[in-house]
């Protein structure tokens, strides 16, 4: 028995082996083949993307092709797609030597995740009971991208400390958990969450933080030299920040109701984000001796408003309401970077590389609360009778629900997302702790060297800074001659 425990300990603490030449290809191949088989069994085009659309049109008296949902949602979909791949990918390039991992692994896990999301979300939300098939259209693609966003948020918490195989495993479970919590929140509780404050950001944030807690590395300081940014990596990160910021109105409006629903969600998000920028800058400047700004805050906290308006964006929160939400989020998120992140690391042992707690988890919770309050405060005088029904979808089983009850269910939804994030993350974290996934040693974290063939930089520098170095070499050479001459003189003397 003692032997066994010792064996276990040895097993877990053995020298890290980052060779993923077997595991990574195997996981990619097996999972992709599984996707093909499952798609073959389950996934079909929906009626708006099938060649039978011409018959559907005639049957349902649709006069024009422009009524196809594609034209309502495709521009927003493409914006969301950019956020997922360029936005999240480049936001994480801020580390001096982890840009390949940031953009590349983001690319990999999003590409896998969206396939798995189409299946999981299909099974839970749109499995046709008669045919046993899942019918997909542009809205399914948006939802798949949304689902992936949750996992990419979680990636932010463990950035630089895990292997791509771990990330794929994390995404597999993340998408699965996401689909379940989404089903509970949106279908069972019938909460509204078009931009995913709860479903995406709160869940994704806590999922990542819980995993990071389980994978805590006490000796992470050994790779401290790699944990900062350099000038150009910060500039690359701003590409991510801006594409996320600019397209967030599309994110929050992509699956809201046609017409005024999408229109209003865009206006609210646009205003909220503008307000966030100003308070982020204010707090960032306050936090430094001479009022200098910190790129970490500008890159991240400016986005908190979009997160916090995910639930309420489609509501009649009114333009000044959106500004207030943004105002508060800029303050809270920036404060988070200054005060809460160090606390989390020291006290709770949560190493949160990108600060997802400040950018997603906290603002997500705020978003859930804002959503619950604004839902509870909704009134027929503001929304109009039909408007209220449309906005909160008070139809079918839920046609007798009051706005107050709705507010309660919104709050319940938020709790569900937190629980799923924390518990799910803890379990998945334990799985990822197994020493078979090829994660890097503490001293090799945040370094692309481990998983990427890096270009040989030496040559470039020889190209670009010869004058100075040549001068140095020249000087050194001269010294050498001098010293050697000394030697010879001395030898002579002796």
Question: Does the protein bind its own copies through residue 436 (CB under 8 A)?
Answer: no
Q: Quickly list DSSP for 103-171.
A: HHHHHHHHHHHHHHHHHHHIIIIIB-TTT--EEE-HHHHHHHHHHHHHHHHHHHHHTTSS-HHHHHHHH
Question: Does the protein bind its own copies through residue 48 (CB under 8 A)?
Answer: yes
In the complex, minimum distance from the CB of residue 59 to its own copies, in angstroms, rounded to a whole number: 12
Q: Which of residues 274-303 bind its own copies (CB under 8 A)?
A: 274-275, 277-279, 281-283, 285-286, 288-295, 298, 302
Say if CB 240 and CB 89 are below 8 A apart.
Answer: yes
Residue 426, classified by CB atoms within 10 Å of its CB into exposed (0-12), middle (13-18) or buried (19+), is middle
Angle at 470 between CA 464 and CA 472, to 5 degrees: 120
Q: Which is nearer to its own copies, 145 or 181 (CB)?
A: 145
Say if CB 76 and CB 263 are below 8 A apart.
Answer: no
Taking every pair of Cα atoms in the chain, the longest distance, rounded to a whole number of angstroms, is 111
In the complex, minimum distance from the CB of residue 184 to its own copies, in angstroms, rounded to a whole number: 27
Say if CB 329 and CB 277 are below 8 A apart.
Answer: no
Q: Which of residues 149-188 bind its own copies (CB under 8 A)?
A: 164
In the complex, minimum distance from the CB of residue 280 to its own copies, in angstroms, rounded to a whole number: 9
Cα separation of the two ends of the chain: 73
Residue 445, helix vs strand vs coil: coil
Q: Which is nearer to its own copies, 315 or 420 (CB)?
A: 315
Question: Does the protein bind its own copies through residue 489 (CB under 8 A)?
Answer: yes
Question: Does the protein bind its own copies through residue 204 (CB under 8 A)?
Answer: no
Q: Which of residues 82-101 bind its own copies (CB under 8 A)?
A: 82, 85-86, 89-90, 93, 96-97, 99-100
Q: Which is nearer to its own copies, 8 or 230 (CB)?
A: 230
Question: Does the protein bind its own copies through residue 126 (CB under 8 A)?
Answer: no
Q: Which of residues 49-68 bind its own copies (CB under 8 A)?
A: 49-55, 57, 63-68
Q: Which of residues 224-283 bind its own copies (CB under 8 A)?
A: 225-226, 228-236, 238-239, 242-243, 245-247, 249-250, 258-260, 262-264, 266-267, 270-271, 273-275, 277-279, 281-283
Q: Which of residues 335-394 bind its own copies (CB under 8 A)?
A: 382-384, 386-388, 390-391
Question: Which helix (H) or strand (E) element contains residue 43?
Answer: strand 43-45
In the complex, minimum distance from the CB of residue 113 to its own copies, in angstroms, rounded to a whole number: 9
- The whole-angstrom separation of Cα 480 and Cα 432 is 55
DSSP assignment letter at 87: I
């Amino acid at each position: 028995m003692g032997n066994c425990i010792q064996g276990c300990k040895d097993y877990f603490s053995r020298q890290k082996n980052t060779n993923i030449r077997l595991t990574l290809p195997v996981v990619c191949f097996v999972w992709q083949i599984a996707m093909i088989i499952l798609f073959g069994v389950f996934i079909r085009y929906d009626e708006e993307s099938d060649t039978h659309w011409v018959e559907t049109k005639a049957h349902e008296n649709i006069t024009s092709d422009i009524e196809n949902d594609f034209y309502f949602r495709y521009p927003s979909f493409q914006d969301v797609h950019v956020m997922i791949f360029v936005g999240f990918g480049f936001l994480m390039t801020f580390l001096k030597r982890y840009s390949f991992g940031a953009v590349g692994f983001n690319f990999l896990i999003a590409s896998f995740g969206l396939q798995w999301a189409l299946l999981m979300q299909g099974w839970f939300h749109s499995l046709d009971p008669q045919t046993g098939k899942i019918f997909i259209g542009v809205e399914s693609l948006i939802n798949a991208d949304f689902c992936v966003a949750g996992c990419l948020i979680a990636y932010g918490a463990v950035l630089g400390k895990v292997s791509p195989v771990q990330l794929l495993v994390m995404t597999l479970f993340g998408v699965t958990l996401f689909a379940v919590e989404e089903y509970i929140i949106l279908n069972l509780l019938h909460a509204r969450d078009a931009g995913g404050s709860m479903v995406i950001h709160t869940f994704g944030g806590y999922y990542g933080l819980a995993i990071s807690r389980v994978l805590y590395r006490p000796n992470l300081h050994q790779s401290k030299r790699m944990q900062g940014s350099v000038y150009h990596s910060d500039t690359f990160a701003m590409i991510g920040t801006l594409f996320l910021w600019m397209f967030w109105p599309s994110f929050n409006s992509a699956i809201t109701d046609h017409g005024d629903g999408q229109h209003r969600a865009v206006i609210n998000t646009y205003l909220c984000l503008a307000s966030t920028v100003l308070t982020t800058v204010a707090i960032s400047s306050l936090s430094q001796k001479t009022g200098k700004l910190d790129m970490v805050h500008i890159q991240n906290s400016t986005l908190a408003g979009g997160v916090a308006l995910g639930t309420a964006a489609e509501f009649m929160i009114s333009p000044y309401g959106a500004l207030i939400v943004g105002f508060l989020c800029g303050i809270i998120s920036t404060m988070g970077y200054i005060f809460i992140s160090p606390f989390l690391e020291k006290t709770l042992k949560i190493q949160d590389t990108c600060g997802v707690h400040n950018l997603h988890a906290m603002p997500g919770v705020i978003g859930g609360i804002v959503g619950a309050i604004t839902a509870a405060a909704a009134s027929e005088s503001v929304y109009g009778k039909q408007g209220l029904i449309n906005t909160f979808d008070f139809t079918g089983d839920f046609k007798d629900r009051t706005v107050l009850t709705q507010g309660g269910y919104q709050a319940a939804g938020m709790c569900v997302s937190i629980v799923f994030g924390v518990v799910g993350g803890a379990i998945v974290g334990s799985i990822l702790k197994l020493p078979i996934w090829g994660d890097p040693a503490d001293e090799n974290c945040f370094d692309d060297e481990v998983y990427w063939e890096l270009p040989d930089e030496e040559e470039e520098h020889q190209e670009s800074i010869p004058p100075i170095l040549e001068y140095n070499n020249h000087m050194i050479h001269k010294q050498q001659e001098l010293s050697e001459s000394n030697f010879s003189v001395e030898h002579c003397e002796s």
